Amino acid sequence: MNTPIAVQPWDATPPKEFVTDGAPTISTEEVSACPVCQCERFVAQATGFDYELRSCRNTWRFVRCEACSHVWLNPRPSISTLGTIYPPHYYAYHYTEKVSPLALKAKNWLDSRKFAGLVKTLGRKPSSFVDIGCGDGRYLRFAEHVGVSKHRDYGLELDESVVRKLCEQGYVGLCERVEDCTAIAERSIDLATMFHVIEHVDDPKAVVQRVARWLSPGGVFAVETPNIASMDARMFGKTYWGGYHIPRHWNMFSPETLKRLLEDAGLEVVGTRYQTGHSFWMYSMHHLTRYHGGSRAGLSRMFDPFGGWPSLPALLAFTAFDKARAAIGGRTSSMLMLARRAD
Ligand SMILES: [Zn+2]
């Protein structure tokens, strides 16, 4: 581990595991203009590989906009390759099977507190709600508990079987992208949430503008995404930072660029909360120990977020570290920004 971490050359060979696993080279497409400000001048920010899933052997590059500093993946995977970079074993599809019942209970409790905080920001009980990327519908249930009726409780998710279940439970499950969704009327939504979704979409500007139009006067939109202006992003940001989730995160925001995106859609930012970025610390350390200057597979297991007991000490330590920093006003690598529609 004595070689310095640097932005790797464009023709860097992938770590040997990518070759022995037979990971394919997948097709890509250029994104020549900044997704936030449309400027076409950018510089290289980082290069790296799919350290997490080894789904493909491509070298990937993040670039930084010379005008607004937004960071995006360029080139990025073609839409036709989504089945490769999101394989059936992708963890987000099996989250509840992969973590312990105790961890699930804790997460549910933390998420319910997070939801209560959003209702407080709204300043009234919501009568309608949408969660974009709603998964199993956990937040739809929180909304129902504060009085949102099921026919005004919307969940967007791209997994058909998940959406079918939500519909069977009486919620309005919608299996489509925000940009294509016509089932939600303009100015009809009091509270909208999008947790760790905006970094995955191909046109974040279009998504935010559509959600802004859905909001009722005074309605609140809560967006959670990795923060590229954070300590761990600076430490690992040349290649191994877990927040990159290479090549599945296509747009990496700072508080400044996310604020600009929301304001460009006519919203007013009313608050930013910093959550613990423990999984990004874990993946950063995992990728560093696994791939840098010779593999230390045993050591890297201590930093696998789904590694069970061996990784628990590191998980607790990073969580405590970020909690403490957030409590004194530090900017962690997971930010939750709240924006309100004024008119
Ligand atoms: Zn820009």
pLDDT of residue 278: 93
pLDDT of residue 235: 95
- Per the listing, tokens 């709600």 go with 129
Rounded distance from Cα 300 to ligand 1 centre (Å): 36
Rounded distance from Cα 99 to ligand 1 centre (Å): 38
pLDDT of residue 8: 67
Partners of 274 in the β-ladder: 335
pLDDT in tens, 294-343: 767 788 889 998 888 888 999 999 999 999 999 999 999 999 999 999 87
Rounded distance from Cα 230 to ligand 1 centre (Å): 19
pTM of the predicted model as reported, rounded to 2 decimal places: 0.92
Rounded distance from Cα 78 to ligand 1 centre (Å): 22
Domains of the chain from N-terminus onward: 16-85 (no CATH), 96-341 (3.40.50.150)
pLDDT of residue 78: 96
Rounded distance from Cα 70 to ligand 1 centre (Å): 5
Rounded distance from Cα 37 to ligand 1 centre (Å): 4
Q: Return the minimum-mean-pLDDT range out of 54-68, 79-93, 96-110, 124-138.
A: 96-110
Rounded distance from Cα 261 to ligand 1 centre (Å): 10
pLDDT in tens, 67-87: 999 999 999 999 999 999 998
Rounded distance from Cα 200 to ligand 1 centre (Å): 18
3-state SS assignment for residue 179: helix
Confidence bin at 91 (pLDDT 50/70/90): low
pLDDT of residue 96: 62
Mean pLDDT score of the chain, rounded to an integer? 92
Q: Count CA atoms within 13 Å of residue 29 on its CB side.
A: 10
Any idea what DSSP says for residue 33?
S
Q: Count CA atoms within 13 Å of residue 285 on its CB side.
A: 19
Pick 309 or 228 by higher pLDDT: 228
pLDDT of residue 100: 73
Buried b (16+ CB within 10 A) or exposed e, 89-126: eeeebeeeeebeeeeeeeeeeeeeebbeebbeebeeeb
Evaluate whether 229 touches 254 at the Cβ level (below 8 Å).
Answer: yes
Strands 71-73 and 251-252: antiparallel
**What distance in Å separates the CA atoms of residue 286 and residue 303, rounded to the nearest whole number?**
5
pLDDT of residue 128: 98
Rounded distance from Cα 112 to ligand 1 centre (Å): 35
**What distance in Å separates the CA atoms of residue 249 and residue 79, rounded to the nearest whole number?**
13
**What distance in Å separates the CA atoms of residue 103 and residue 213, rounded to the nearest whole number?**
36
Rounded distance from Cα 72 to ligand 1 centre (Å): 10
Rounded distance from Cα 124 to ligand 1 centre (Å): 36
Rounded distance from Cα 204 to ligand 1 centre (Å): 13
pLDDT of residue 102: 78
pLDDT in tens, 108-136: 888 999 999 999 999 999 999 999 999 99
Mean of pLDDT values over 3-22: 75
Instruction: Give percent of the chain above pLDDT 90.
Output: 79
Asked whether residue 1 carries a pLDDT value surpassing 50, the answer given is no
Asked whether residue 223 carries a pLDDT value surpassing 60, the answer given is yes
pLDDT in tens, 256-306: 999 999 999 999 999 999 999 999 999 999 999 999 877 677 888 899 988
Q: Could you list which residues have their CB under 5 Å from ion ligand 1?
A: 34, 36-37, 39, 65, 67-68, 70
Rounded distance from Cα 69 to ligand 1 centre (Å): 6
Rounded distance from Cα 35 to ligand 1 centre (Å): 7
Evaluate whether 175 touches 158 at the Cβ level (below 8 Å).
Answer: yes
Rounded distance from Cα 49 to ligand 1 centre (Å): 24
pLDDT of residue 10: 65
pLDDT of residue 88: 80
Asked whether residue 2 carries a pLDDT value surpassing 70, the answer given is no
Rounded distance from Cα 262 to ligand 1 centre (Å): 14
